[in-house]
Copies of this chain bind each other. A is one copy, B any other.
Amino acid sequence: MPTLRGNCLMGQSGGPTAVINASICGVIQEAMKHPEIEGIYGAQHGILGVLEENLIDLRRADPKEIELLKSTPAAALGSIRHKLPRPEEGPSEYERIFQVFDAQNIRHFFYAGGNDSMDTINKLSAYAAKVGYELRAIGIPKTVDNDLAGIDHCPGYGSVAKHIAAITMGVGLDMQSVHLTDPVVIMEVMGRNAGWMTASSALARRLDGDAPNLIYVPEAPWDRARFLDDVKRTHAEHGWCFIAASVGTKDESGEYLATQKGDFATDAFGHVQLGGVGLFLESLVRGELGLKTRLVRLGPAERVAMHFASLTDRDEAYQLGAFAVRSAIEGVTAKMVSLERTSSDPYRCDLTYTDLDVVANEEKLIPRQWLNGAGNDVTQDFLDYARPLIQGEVPTPIENGLPRYARLREVPVGKKLPAWGG
């Protein structure tokens, strides 16, 4: 494959994770090793930064801050949710992006994100081929949801799983301590279609009766009578009940619990409250069973807990970033770098590639056989899958009692084009 000299550009997209910056660090530190790569640029807020030509020069960032990206959560370059239109529907975005690529001599493009980001890489690669612009574009997977197809697990998932399990363990002990007064805990976990995050709470169990006692995910239809029975039985047996439920838990008819009982699921302005599954279940348990409840709703706090992130996850995120660069140098393009598990015990994942079509258009849900028959728990298969992903802790530099996260000094790359009117 002929050497392709030029500048490289990277961006981040979608919801942040604890380790998406580790992938970016892998891209930057690997890029530094290759003389073919001249400028190393970051797009601010993903594809929006490309459209607006808001690029920063990462060669001029402090190497110590770059290194700190390995232990910094959230998206240091800024993220965005933006789905590219198809070229025939929105040609101006494509024209602009390639004007910027051309003006800035971008020849390697790395985009860390989920389905939409892989769709972006897919569309840009096809467009580049069509217009004859020489570009090597590679997607780097990340998502706490773990719902990407064509990869064993997504970077970002191991850390959120570890954090959710640790919180479950702590809150579970708390519940056991105070169960005579507050016997039921409901933990609402992110995840609209896929229950991977909620399921990870199961890793917290060590002894019989430990939290979580019940797990509800979108993959298994929820039933009101069964739920009340589950809670009643668990409480009778142990004196407490810890419930982990996905935001996207649905009943048999496919309706989200979060939008049921309209009278309390709307706010003062009549807007439907999203993510109200916890409140809904709380009202059922209080109202129908007369038990006291406590609600935990971590929300975005789930995905940023670098103070207890998985080292396995962080290292894989970094390796995928570095592997993307090596692959591009070798001529690979229009692929997502990926992980293929070759063994669970001992755990081993190999670096590989996945076709972007697969990732862009599919969603990986928990296999039904990894959930029990009653649809209120996971099976051993899930635990065997998830346990290796939470191993090890990321060392976090501390300053004055709190993590010292990276702060990139944003040295802009000079703009070569007039402002974008899009």
Contact = CB atoms under 8 A, between A and B. Distances in A.
Contacts of A166: 307, 402-403
A325 interface: no
A295 interface: yes
A368 interface: no
Contacts of A45: 180
Contact of A177 (B75, B165, B296): B75
Contacts of A306: 170
A225 interface: no
Nearest to A161: B401
Contacts of A12: 177
Task: Tell which of A75, A80, A308 has the most Cβ of chain B within 10 Å.
Answer: A308
B407 A390 contact: no
Nearest to A303: B174
A405 interface: yes
Copies in the complex: 2
Interface string A1-39: 000000000001001100000000000000000000000
Given A48-B180, A73-B173, A170-B74, A287 B269 contact: yes
Given A400-B391, A402-B165, A80 B181 contact: yes
Interface in A84-130: none
A393 interface: yes
Nearest to A269: B287
A162 interface: yes
A27 B378 CA distance: 40
Contact of A15 (B79, B162, B178): B178
Interface string A60-74: 000000000000111
B269 A174 contact: no
Nearest to A206: B407
Given A273-B264, A400-B391, A402-B166, A295 B297 contact: yes
Given A181-B80, A267-B282, A297 B294 contact: no
Contact of A304 (B165, B173, B402, B405): B173
A226 interface: no
A307 B307 contact: yes
A142 to B, nearest CB: 12
A225 to B, nearest CB: 16
A401 B391 contact: yes
Contact of A16 (B48, B169, B174, B403): B174
A360 interface: no
A170 B296 contact: no
> Top 4 closest A-B pairs, CB basis?
A170-B304, A267-B283, A269-B287, A74-B173
Given A72-B173, A74-B177, 14 more contacts: A12-B177, A80-B181, A166-B307, A166-B402, A171-B304, A173-B405, A206-B407, A264-B264, A267-B279, A295-B297, A296-B301, A298-B301, A308-B308, A393-B398
Interface of A: 12, 15-16, 45, 48, 72-76, 78-81, 162, 165-167, 169-171, 173-178, 180-181, 185, 203-204, 206-207, 261, 263-264, 266-269, 271, 273, 275, 279-280, 282-284, 286-287, 294-301, 303-308, 310, 387, 390-393, 398, 400-403, 405, 407
29 contacts: A16-B177, A48-B180, A74-B176, A75-B178, A81-B178, A169-B402, A170-B403, A171-B300, A171-B301, A203-B401, A203-B402, A264-B264, A267-B282, A267-B286, A267-B287, A268-B280, A269-B287, A271-B286, A271-B287, A294-B299, A295-B297, A295-B299, A296-B297, A297-B298, A307-B307, A307-B308, A390-B402, A391-B401, A393-B398
